Structures are given as structure tokens and as C-alpha cells.
């Protein structure tokens, strides 16, 4: 989970190239709206959002852990190394 100072979409323009994230941002109409999105992170973006130990980070800030439901876990079983949950809004 990104802290408020890192939530501006302008800081994450690279993520808007991922179709599922771009669609989620497009449907947000009101301030405070949010969507949880599962997306495959392209290899070239992994260094921006994961550290060497595969912790979810942004600009060297360790992000809060998000608890996954059993349904989310089943969807990620194939290869969780390149899939992450991203909340926009």
C-alpha cells in the first residue's frame, strides 16, 4: 500500500502502460474512489517496485503488506514473481 505522498498517479506513469491498471484509473470519477487491480508487472518495471529480497517497495520505501484472500492466492499460484496487487485511487 502506497503512503499518501506516493499516491499521485503522476509518480507512476509507467504503470499506466499496463492495460488493466489504465482501465481502472479511467473509471475513477470521484476523489477517494479506488479499485484493486491484479496486474502482471513487466520485467523492466520490477526494479522500480521490488527490492533484491522481493519486498514491495517504491523509491526505497518498504510498502505496507496487503493481506490476500484465498481467491487472490489461487489466481497468483502460477508465478507470483511478476504479479502484484495495486490499488489506485
Report pLDDT for 80.
47
Element (H, E) at 39: strand 35-40
Q: Give the Å distances, CA to CA, from 41 to 30, 32, 47, 56, 86.
A: 26, 24, 10, 12, 10
Specify the pTM. Answer: 0.64
Q: What are the domain boundaries of the chain? A: 4-88
Report pLDDT for 5.
86
Q: Which residues of the chain fall below pLDDT 70? A: 65-89
DSSP state of 58: E
Report pLDDT for 87.
55
Report pLDDT for 14.
92
Report pLDDT for 86.
55
Amino acid at each position: 500500500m502506497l503512503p499518501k505522498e506516493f499516491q499521485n498517479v503522476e509518480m507512476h506513469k509507467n504503470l499506466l502502460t499496463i492495460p488493466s491498471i489504465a482501465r481502472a484509473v479511467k473509471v475513477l470519477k470521484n476523489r477517494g474512489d479506488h479499485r484493486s487491480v491484479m496486474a502482471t508487472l513487466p520485467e523492466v518495471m520490477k526494479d522500480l517496485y521490488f527490492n533484491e529480497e522481493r519486498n514491495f517497495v517504491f523509491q526505497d520505501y518498504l510498502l505496507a503488506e496487503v493481506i490476500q484472500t484465498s481467491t487472490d492466492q489461487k489466481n497468483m499460484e502460477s508465478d507470483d514473481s511478476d504479479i502484484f496487487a495495486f490499488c489506485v485511487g
